[in-house]
Structure 1
Amino acid sequence: MKPRLSTLSLCLFFTLIANYGYTQERPKYLLVDETILMTAKKAIQPAVKNKITSLIKSADSVIDKGPYSVTFQKTKMAPTNDPHDYVSQAPYWWADPSKPDGKPYIRKDGKRNPEIYLLHDRSQLGDMSSTVKKLALAYYYSNNEKYALRAETLLRVWFVNPETRMNPNLNFGQYVPGVNEGRGIGIIETVGLINIPDAIALLQGSKIDPTVVNDVKKWFASYTDWLLNSENGKSEQSQTNNHGTNYDLQVADFALFTGNTNLAKHIINDITIPRINVQFTPEGAQPLELARTKSWDYTNMNLDAWAKIAMLSKRLGVDLWNKEGLQGKGIKGAVKWLIPYASGEKAWTTEQIGPYEYGNMCFIMRKSSEQYKDLDFSGVFKKYPQGIALE
């Protein structure tokens, strides 16, 4: 009988690889399609050139913004009193009017408490990751070093410089006043960091300092270690809904970025694939997301994460796009179920208390149409034309 490694042993094993096993090889694209990049860069069609011009103008609009840091605009310190620790407040929790001090706060699903905007770490992280990606794309299409050098500055400030770097943990993300000082659920706020590995791949060939790239990889290796071994990280991995999916997406993406393919394979094969039977019905619905007060947004947000994990899986030789669980459950069934709602053929009848968000849905349909030639996406693309893809 072969001995079985305990969960703790596996975590320690992958931690060692995460800390010491990242590679120094040429950066690889993870969620960006290099074929689309090369085709668009060589294109001579005016429509493509105009799209690239628009992309570069978008980068020009943010090139002078920032830099960004969790140490900037700090309005609330973590219990550690360390400004480098990320802090955010749970968005759907409100003061209890029956309590003199409002604590403990009570949950109102889907209703954002404006108090969360008094803290700025989340917006600083989001602005940093999106700006770096825009600058990197502008560099790729223009070969203008000013975009690469500005991206390098933003990376240095957020991940490297001792005075401004973020500590690689989310111990205090989405805290609930009167309940806790931070929750594993807050980890979903760092999903925007998946922009960084692809941004660095886009910047290859530029004059960006290689030591910055290496230091950023070290940061991601440390954060991955924390995701695997901290109480908050373990809690988020155990979540059965979109939180678990987005946890898997981050760990797999960061593992591939740091050259830890063993960890990426472990997450996808042993953690993500078993989620199929939990999250999808045989018809393709997502009951855990449909139960939310913003059911459209959460259904699409979760499936968007599945599509991205499938893209990462393909780089590992794993066909998650066509993986099926019990009774044919899987991504394909979920996409098929969503198509008539996306096209407008069927009305969305479950609760959606806010405006409908369509960005995730459009991404899902575009990427799924490349995989499922037997599904009819014509109604969706008639309503939401695909346009010209640049990445």
Structure 2
Amino acid sequence: MIAWCKKYIKWLQTAPSAKQAASAKNNHGTFYVNQMMALKLIVNDKAGATKLGREYFGGTFKGQMKSNGDQPMEASRSHPYHYRNFNIAGMITNARLLKYADPTSDVWNTTSNGATIKTAVDFLMTTKPSASKESNVTAEIYPNVAAIMSIYGDPQKRYLNFLKNSGFPYTTEASYLWDQPAVNAGAKNAANNGAGAASPTLSSVATSSPTSVAVEIRPGRAMGCMMLIVVFVAMSGLC
């Protein structure tokens, strides 16, 4: 697997289409860094992963948001609610990868025109997909909200109430494996209120290995799920 990943890294560094993605300032550039950082970790190049993360948050990220947390390059797309969420998911993944590669990093407080990743989620929580005539995309924000809640805290229960009022069973998402620190009794109840879906209990998750937790892979989350698997493999030393 390491040999294959090294070949893939080489392709990402040399192929014209890959180099085009690497130079993109929107979500294409964000997810290029996702892949490269995860691959670098798999091949035991933590220094290389750290360098990529620092370059992203010191470069591309700096131009992706306005001070209020909106993302102009994603807002101009034909499906702005979806693309804003998509890029936020990429930002969160890049931040988590960098924090893993360099635990001393203050990445969560890094700003883009004064806005953090949290600011981007806060902005999107006030936006309705119906405003841009988008359908079947509402649930895309919930894993991002859960992630922000687990990272920045939620003393006013704003994020918890947002999830609770949605009825979304986010403990059935693959992203739940990362967001467990956010889950307390109230969050578990919020998750279990959604559409009658069965959710793992706190005790079952705490005593189970990640591979034994039942998760529902939803359409549109394939990239996030793939990256979750890649990062889990890298962190668990399976290769």
Q: Same fold (TM over 0.5)?
A: yes
Alignment of 1:277-292 (within 5 A): 277-292=62-77
Could you tell me whether the CA contact under 8 Å between 1:277 and 1:329 is conserved in 2?
no
Runs of 4+ in 1 over 3 A off after TM superposition: 347-350, 384-390
Give the equivalent residue in structure 2 for 1:351.
132
Deviation at 1:231, TM superposition (A): 2.2
- Corresponding residue to 1:331 among 117, 122, 128: 117
Deviation at 1:339, TM superposition (A): 2.2
Deviation at 1:285, TM superposition (A): 0.2
Could you tell me whether the CA contact under 8 Å between 2:64 and 2:73 is conserved in 1?
yes
Could you tell me whether the CA contact under 8 Å between 1:286 and 1:299 is conserved in 2?
yes
Give the equivalent residue in structure 2 for 1:45.
none
Looking at structure 2, the residues matched to 323 and 285 of structure 1 have their Cα atoms a distance apart, in angstroms, of 16
Deviation at 1:379, TM superposition (A): 3.5
TM-score by length of 1: 0.40
Give the equivalent residue in structure 2 for 1:252.
37
Looking at structure 1, the residues matched to 78 and 52 of structure 2 have their Cα atoms a distance apart, in angstroms, of 29
**Residue 388 (str. 1) matches residue 168 (str. 2):** no
Could you tell me whether the CA contact under 8 Å between 2:33 and 2:52 is conserved in 1?
yes
AA aligned to 2:112 is G
Alignment of 1:217-236 (within 5 A): 217-236=2-21
Q: Which runs of 5+ in 2 are unaligned?
A: 178-239
Q: Which runs of 5+ in 1 are unaligned?
A: 1-215, 342-346
Looking at structure 1, the residues matched to 117 and 106 of structure 2 have their Cα atoms a distance apart, in angstroms, of 11
CA RMSD of aligned residues (A): 2.1
Looking at structure 1, the residues matched to 99 and 140 of structure 2 have their Cα atoms a distance apart, in angstroms, of 20
Looking at structure 2, the residues matched to 258 and 386 of structure 1 have their Cα atoms a distance apart, in angstroms, of 35
**Residue 266 (str. 1) matches residue 51 (str. 2):** yes
1:275/1:384 CA distance change after superposition, 3 Å? farther
Looking at structure 2, the residues matched to 229 and 384 of structure 1 have their Cα atoms a distance apart, in angstroms, of 45
Give the equivalent residue in structure 2 for 1:242.
27
**Residue 372 (str. 1) matches residue 156 (str. 2):** no
TM-score by length of 2: 0.64
Give the equivalent residue in structure 2 for 1:320.
107
Q: Tell me the SS of whatever aligns to 1:321.
A: helix
Could you tell me whether the CA contact under 8 Å between 1:310 and 1:319 is conserved in 2?
no
**Residue 362 (str. 1) matches residue 150 (str. 2):** no
1:221/1:298 CA distance change after superposition, 3 Å? same
Give percent identity, aligned residues only: 23
- Structure with the largest fraction of helix: 2
1:261-285 alpha-carbon deviations (Å, 9 max, x no partner): 1221111111343222211000000
Deviation at 1:359, TM superposition (A): 4.4
Could you tell me whether the CA contact under 8 Å between 2:63 and 2:112 is conserved in 1?
no
Looking at structure 2, the residues matched to 238 and 261 of structure 1 have their Cα atoms a distance apart, in angstroms, of 22
1:26-79 alpha-carbon deviations (Å, 9 max, x no partner): xxxxxxxxxxxxxxxxxxxxxxxxxxxxxxxxxxxxxxxxxxxxxxxxxxxxxx
Number of equivalences: 169
Could you tell me whether the CA contact under 8 Å between 1:304 and 1:360 is conserved in 2?
no
Deviation at 1:260, TM superposition (A): 1.1
Alignment of 1:1-391 (within 5 A): 216-316=1-101, 317=103, 318-326=105-113, 328-341=114-127, 347-348=128-129, 350-352=131-133, 354-374=134-154, 376-382=158-164, 383-388=166-171, 391=177
Looking at structure 2, the residues matched to 249 and 338 of structure 1 have their Cα atoms a distance apart, in angstroms, of 22
Looking at structure 1, the residues matched to 28 and 41 of structure 2 have their Cα atoms a distance apart, in angstroms, of 20
AA aligned to 1:330 is T
AA aligned to 1:355 is S
1:364/1:315 CA distance change after superposition, 3 Å? same
